[in-house]
Amino acid sequence: MLAPERRTRADLLAAVAIAVVLAIAAVVVWVNSDARKTISEPAARAATVPTTAAALPATLRELWHEPDGANARALTSGGVAITGDGGTVTGRDPRTGGQIWKYERDLPLCGVESQFGTAIATYRDQRGCSQTTLLAADTGARRNARSSYMDRQLKLSVDGTYALALGANRLEVWRSDLVRTLEYGYVDAPVNVRTQPRKNCRLLSGASSSSRLGVLERCPDDAADRLTVLNPAPKDNSVPEEYGTHVLTEPGAVSDKARVIAVSDNRVALYLPGTGAEPPQFAVYDQAANFLAVHRLNAPLADNLTTTRIGSAFLVFTGNSLIALSATTFDPLWTASDALGSPALMAGKLLMPVPDGIAVVDPATGAQVSRIPVQRSDYHGEHISLAVVGSTLLEHRGNGLYALG
């Protein structure tokens, strides 16, 4: 029979040394971890969604304002107003501006969006705008997170099904749980490089729908900009599935000002700025990027043009007016003048920001029914984005969110 093993003094010292090393490693990991540098203050209970306004207010005054430099538009979801500034995303009481929840990191925000009762917050680290967190909009509780290589600047947008993160060299499409359904453009994984149809293209603009993604890109070997229509959720997220791609031949097809205006299940609308001899235009293409129609414009559109989907129309802010496009054909329906930005729907009417307040617009005809006067503080002509939560109207302008009620 073998003698039982005995612990020696050397064994004990070795065990203590290993324990100390593991403890030090744990402390180092904790000190440098993202968790230590994150402040999450969720709400104790979910915010109450305000009752939808049944009538328009006769007057409006400024209730509160807060910094909102990371957001591209006024955001509201789950009964709260959502602001993003520095590295902090905050859910606020729409009536008072008071904090309901807060999520803060020691990284700068690249952008914030909202969809399906959530807030999507993307942060910049050494890999670009690569770290994204999904928060419950009514409580601020963390739901999901993702990390991947991205550009240092990107534009976030949502379409009612997917979220699109678009950079100059690369884009990703995400599901409602942040699972990636498509990567397109530059790929940092060497094994996946050959899955992309073209190399070294610059992504100029893009927009998505539930079944189509339209991308305007400029590739080294092309004489003009290229329109590519993709499946936003192919079988393999790293292998793009093209429905069609064409180098554009229309006037203004070689311009950094060209934009994807709107995408539906069977149409893509582009803004092309024209040339010295040809006016600017909306050009419409089918689901395979084939040219269908053109609608000429009286003047070029501003660089801060935006598109808002409300009901059966896409509403394009041109810089000084709103143009309503049919959601099925992209034919122009009406134009409303004096606009300062994108509209919102309240009590069955469109509310449109104008110089002296808010214009009430018939969504079927574009006729201005009335105006609600507003005195805006610290306004210097910036683009205004409107959103409605209950009976409160939110204005995103400049680097702030302003509540009117």
| Domains present along the chain, CATH in parentheses | 38-53+72-147 (2.40.10.480), 172-301 (no CATH), 308-405 (2.40.128.630)
Q: At 27, is the secondary structure helix, strand, or coil?
A: helix
Whether residue 253 is predicted with pLDDT greater than 60 in this model: the reply is yes
Residue 27: the pLDDT is 47
Rg (CA), the chain: 25
H/E segment holding residue 325: strand 321-326
**95 and 53 Cβ atoms separated by less than 8 Å:** no
CA distance linking residue 351 with residue 329, whole number of Å = 24
Most confident of 248-252, 276-280, 371-375: 371-375
**Neighbour tally for 178: CB within 10 Å:** 18
Other Cβ atoms within 10 Å of 322 Cβ, number: 25
**Interatomic CA distance for residues 233 and 240, integer angstroms:** 9
pTM: 0.89
Q: Where does the pLDDT of residue 17 fall: very low under 50, low under 70, confident under 90, or very high at 90 and above? A: low
Among candidates 168, 239, 170, 181, which has minimal Cα distance to 210? 181
Q: Whose structure tokens read 């192919």?
A: 234
Task: Return d(Cα 284, Cα 293) in angstroms, integer.
Answer: 5
User: Residue 191: what pLDDT?
Assistant: 64
Report the C-alpha gap between 277 and 295 in whole angstroms.
16
Compute CA distances 189 → 76, 147, 194, whole Å. Answer: 36, 14, 10
Q: So what's the pLDDT on residue 275?
A: 86
- Does pLDDT of 360 surpass 70? yes
Phi and psi at residue 10, to the nearest 5°: -65, -40
Kindly indicate the confidence band of residue 13, based on its pLDDT and cuts at 50, 70 and 90: low
Can you give the pLDDT at residue 31? 46
Interatomic CA distance for residues 272 and 253, integer angstroms: 6
Torsion sign over Cα 185, 143, 124, 68: positive
pLDDT digits over 37-83, tens only?
799 999 999 999 999 999 999 999 999 999 999 999 999 999 999 99
The whole-chain average pLDDT of the chain stands at 92
In this prediction, residues 142-162 reach a mean pLDDT of 96
136 pLDDT more than 70: yes
